[in-house]
Amino acid sequence: MTAAETPVLEVRDLQMHFPVGGGILDRLRLGRGGVRFENPVVHAVNGVSFRIAPGEIMALVGESGCGKSTVAKSIARIYRPTGGQVLLEGEDIAQHGFARMLPVRAKMQMIFQDPYASLNPRQRVRDIVAEPLLEQRKGADRATVRDEIAALLARVGLNAEHAGRYPHQFSGGQRQRIGIARALSVRPNLIVADEPVSALDVSIQAQILNLMKDLRDEFGLAYLFISHDLSVVHHIADSVGVMYLGFMVEKAPRDVLFARPRHPYTRALLSAAPSIKPRRDVEEIALSGEVPSALALPSGCCFRTRCPFAWERCAAERPKLQALGDGQQVACHLIDEPERDKA
């Protein structure tokens, strides 16, 4: 992406925090001397920033609970972010209300993880796919819409006869094709895909991934692709962001990250990923211990409690993303003290 080119999506210092409690007993709870306790807060996303260029597929990866799906839902405005900016084609939508988001949704759509729960079981396929289109085009000609829906279903690999069926009459892969057709119906520029193939068989996963790549080329789509499966990410992504406990710890073009991971957590993820051919070019790292609670984030580096290379600075100072060249950015103090990486 050139400096003059406006990204489809730019996220700046995104934060998403969830207060815990808030019921009547919590509001009445008092401490010593009548001092009121503050309700605890889950720090799900903590200052995440990235950009997605037109036609780019960016993947977010990390362990379960790292905040990647919360980032996706905050961008899609299922959640209202606690802080930061979400710039969709230059427009900050982070604090838009329901009415202001309606026209924005024509530019951004979402594909969900569960291809059955995300479809209305009481609607026929033609109505499911047509619903967002009719919402965006008030008074649209029904015959024209019907022809567009038939063409969309054919483009994602479904037949015209499928339009009159209900979701329970389809396999998981077919349901996800319906979800993709629904997302495409308003011709968005960005699709947020939250674990779109994790519920599917491996052979069907490949078909859906190849379909998504073909649609990217045909419609000029950009994707934010959420996944925990590194083999899936390697197949589809152009760039990758690695998250841990709500923080972005490494970002890089796909080939750079897989060939030369720099953050210890990224190296641990690649070490744990199953592979027919063992990696010999990257030292394996095995993690121990549990992920800290997002209710009480560790001081300094969020990964230090499990990192085999942690030292005094890691507990005292939170690392920031640093550019290392080739588009790679890493948030780790080892970048400043390379000799400790060999300890």
Q: Give residue 190's pLDDT.
A: 97
Q: Kindly state the tokens that stand for 303.
A: 């990964």
CB 112 within 8 A of CB 193: no
Return the residue matching tokens 């994707």. Answer: 223
Identify the CA nearest to 236 among candidates 259, 191, 206.
206
How far is residue 145's CA from residue 150's CA, in Å, rounded to a whole number? 9
Q: Give residue 337's pLDDT.
A: 73
* 302 found inside a domain: yes
User: How much is the average pLDDT of 289-303?
Assistant: 91
- What is the residue type of 159? N
61, containing H or E segment: strand 57-61
* 268 found inside a domain: yes
Is the pLDDT score of 342 beyond 60?
no
User: How much is the average pLDDT of 81-85?
Assistant: 97
* 284 found inside a domain: yes
Is the pLDDT score of 75 beyond 70?
yes
Q: Give residue 177's pLDDT.
A: 96
CA torsion angle 176 60 65 92 (round to 10): -90
Lowest model confidence (mean pLDDT) among 91-100, 176-185, 273-282: 273-282
* 329 found inside a domain: yes
What domain range includes position 278? 262-343
- The whole-angstrom distance between residue 3's C-alpha and the CA centroid of its chain comes to 24
Is the pLDDT score of 343 beyond 50?
no
Alpha helices in 237-291 (DSSP H): 254-259, 264-272
User: How much is the average pLDDT of 179-197?
Assistant: 95
- Give the total residue count for the chain: 343
Query: How many domains are contained in the chain?
Result: 1
Lowest model confidence (mean pLDDT) among 17-31, 112-126, 210-224, 243-257: 17-31
Three-class SS string for 242-298?
EEECCEEEEEEEHHHHHHCCCCHHHHHHHHHCCCCCCCCCCCCCCCCCCCCCCCCCC
* 203 found inside a domain: no
Q: Give residue 30's pLDDT.
A: 54
The per-residue pLDDT for range 253-266, each reduced to its tens digit, is: 999 999 999 999 99
Q: Give residue 27's pLDDT.
A: 56
The per-residue pLDDT for range 111-127, each reduced to its tens digit, is: 999 988 999 999 999 99
Interior/surface letters 26-65, b for 16+ CB within 10 angstroms, e for the rest: eeeeeeeeeeeeeeeebbbbbbbbbbbbbbbbbbbbbbeb
Q: Give residue 335's pLDDT.
A: 87
The per-residue pLDDT for range 303-326, each reduced to its tens digit, is: 999 998 999 999 999 999 999 988
Lowest model confidence (mean pLDDT) among 141-150, 207-216, 327-336: 141-150
Residue 140 pLDDT grade (very low, low, confident, very high; cuts 50, 70, 90)? confident
Q: 109 or 5, which is more confident?
A: 109
* 12 found inside a domain: no
* 176 found inside a domain: no
User: How much is the average pLDDT of 267-280?
Assistant: 73
* 340 found inside a domain: yes
Q: 321 or 275, which is more confident?
A: 321
How far is residue 192's CA from residue 180's CA, in Å, rounded to a whole number? 11
Residue 6 pLDDT grade (very low, low, confident, very high; cuts 50, 70, 90)? confident
Q: What angle do CA 102, 105, 107 make, to 5 degrees?
A: 135
Q: pTM above 0.85?
A: yes
Residue 269 pLDDT grade (very low, low, confident, very high; cuts 50, 70, 90)? very high
Count CB neighbours of 180 within 10 A: 26
